Amino acid sequence: MLNPFSKEKVANIYQQKNTLKILVLAVSAIIAAVSIYYTNSLVKDLKEREKTYIDLYAKTIEMSANQDNLEIPFLFQEIIVPNNNIPVILTDNMGNYVSHRNIDIKESYSKEKKDEIIAKELAEMQEAHQHIEIVLKDPKTGMVYDYQHVYYKNSFLLTQLQYYPYIQLSVIAGFGLLVYLIFSYSRTAEQNRVWIGMAKETAHQLGTPLSSLMAWLEYFRADPDVYDDSIVKELDKDISRLEMITARFSSIGSIPTLKEENLYLAIKNTVNYLQTRISSKVRMHLQSESEMIRVLINKPLFDWVIENICKNAVDAMSGVGDITIRIMHDKNNKVVIDITDTGKGIPKSKINQVFTPGYTTKKRGWGLGLSLAQRIIENYHKGKIFVKHSEIDVGTTFRIILDAHTSVNGKPLKEEAQALA
Ligand SMILES: Nc1ncnc2c1ncn2[C@@H]1O[C@H](COP(=O)(O)OP(=O)(O)OP(=O)(O)O)[C@@H](O)[C@H]1O
Ligand SMILES: [Mg+2]
């Protein structure tokens, strides 16, 4: 059975969330497609109906014009086929305006304005549909004496109906996006509170045994009877380690202050520290464009990032291989740190997942190392971290990008010069 906090469960939650996202997207796409398809078929029907209607209307005009009886035109045009919504222009054989219907032209308009509107409408109608020809015959002899043309375009209703689903779907999508943003914002805020709260509490709880240990150390130092050099040395080391852990947790639990640091020296320290603790078959190399690149970092947190990435690298190489850290400037004058291993690599399909909390391929891993690293680099340092390159059985390169500090490559300070010497 899965316990609710097991890593399988955590990984499962992310898996389910992704499946749910895909499902919601798929259902939305289907709804949108069906709604557009349905309206399009309505539009098609209505278009055909309007075409039939205009044909009939043109026939009515033709019949009315070819009639002797003056009452019949009125009967047809106003009662039998009254066209009250399709815009129509009637022209003579040469395309000159004769009359119109359902075009918004007020009596009060000047002649120029009326002509202008007619010309514009006519141009639109010529684009929209093929005109219909009316044959004028002498009612008595049946001789053809002239032709007229009926031009028309879609009714306002039809035009609106064509755009309606797009407008409706955009409004719904916009609203959906807004709701999603609000929810994801409040979820992120909640996650932040949990991270910060837990970290603060851990730092706080570590504080008590740590000060007690320090007091014991002082006691050992002060009493020559119990003083033992090797024990005190080891104790001292453990206390520094605990102090470092406390500093990390308390930094992540507050708004960490960034300080100008020599990046090369900071990483060199971490490398030296790690080198003594990992397999001797892993060689660590540090290369830097310059030993004087300074950046704004929070050292306890930044060290944690480098440590997490290097530990992953050691795991990926099963304890044998090379880790190379390169520090350089990119063309945008940002500071780039590439950490390359010669390990087993990350499959392409998993590269996007390695920063997800809970994603792990290790028996004893929690899948938190990289998500913590991402949080530290992106939230606290406003930098970037990503997998630059990975090849199965060849190795992986993680890249960190930080803003260069204004005094990059400045003159070495006294303590820097000493440390570099
Ligand atoms: N250098 C690397 N080479 C190959 N795979 C890696 C590398 N770094 C990370 N990964 C993959 O990404 C996963 C997530 O790494 P992450 O550090 O977040 O968690 P973890 O190491 O599994 O556990 P934790 O760090 O919490 O102990 C790893 O389990 C591993 O599959
Ligand atoms: Mg890890």
Q: How far apart are CA 266 and CA 337, in angstroms?
A: 12
Number of neighbouring beta carbons within 10 Å of residue 66: 17
Q: Tokens 């219909």: give the residue.
A: 132
Say how many Å lie between the CA of residue 138 and the centre of ligand 1: 93
Q: How far apart are CA 296 and CA 403, in angstroms?
A: 8
Mutate to test the pocket of ligand 1, among 284, 304, 354 (most ligand atoms within 8 A of CB): 354
Distance (Å) of CA 265 to CA 34, 327, 335, 404, 421? 62, 11, 15, 16, 11
Instruction: Please tell me the predicted confidence (pLDDT) of residue 78.
Output: 61
The DSSP call for residue 408 is: T
Instruction: Please tell me the predicted confidence (pLDDT) of residue 11.
Output: 62
Instruction: Please tell me the predicted confidence (pLDDT) of residue 337.
Output: 97
The response to whether residue 341 sits with its C-beta less than 6 Å from ligand 1 reads yes
Contact 405, 295 (CB under 8 A): yes
Instruction: Please tell me the predicted confidence (pLDDT) of residue 117.
Output: 93
Q: How far apart are CA 87 and CA 153, in angstroms?
A: 6
Query: Each residue of 376-397: b (16+ CB within 10 Å) or e?
Result: bbeebbebebbbeebeeeebbb
For ligand 1, what atom is nearest to the CA of residue 364? Answer: 27
pTM: 0.67
Taking CA atoms only, the protein residue closest to ligand 1 atom 7 is 312
Instruction: Please tell me the predicted confidence (pLDDT) of residue 251.
Output: 86
Contact 222, 376 (CB under 8 A): no
pLDDT, one tens digit for every residue, the chain (421 residues) = 445 556 566 666 767 878 888 999 999 999 989 989 999 999 999 999 999 888 888 888 888 778 766 566 556 666 556 777 889 999 998 989 988 888 888 889 998 999 999 999 999 999 999 999 989 888 888 888 889 999 999 998 898 988 888 998 999 999 999 999 999 999 989 988 888 898 889 999 998 999 999 998 888 888 888 788 888 888 888 898 899 899 889 888 787 889 999 999 999 999 998 998 888 999 999 999 888 888 999 999 999 999 999 999 999 999 899 999 999 998 888 999 999 999 999 999 999 999 988 889 999 888 899 999 999 999 999 999 999 999 999 999 999 999 887 655 566 777 777 777 7
The response to whether residue 346 sits with its C-beta less than 6 Å from ligand 1 reads yes
Taking CA atoms only, the protein residue closest to ligand 1 atom 17 is 369
Identity (one letter) of the amino acid at 83?
A: N
Beta pairing partners, 233:
none
For ligand 1, what atom is nearest to the CA of residue 367? Answer: 19
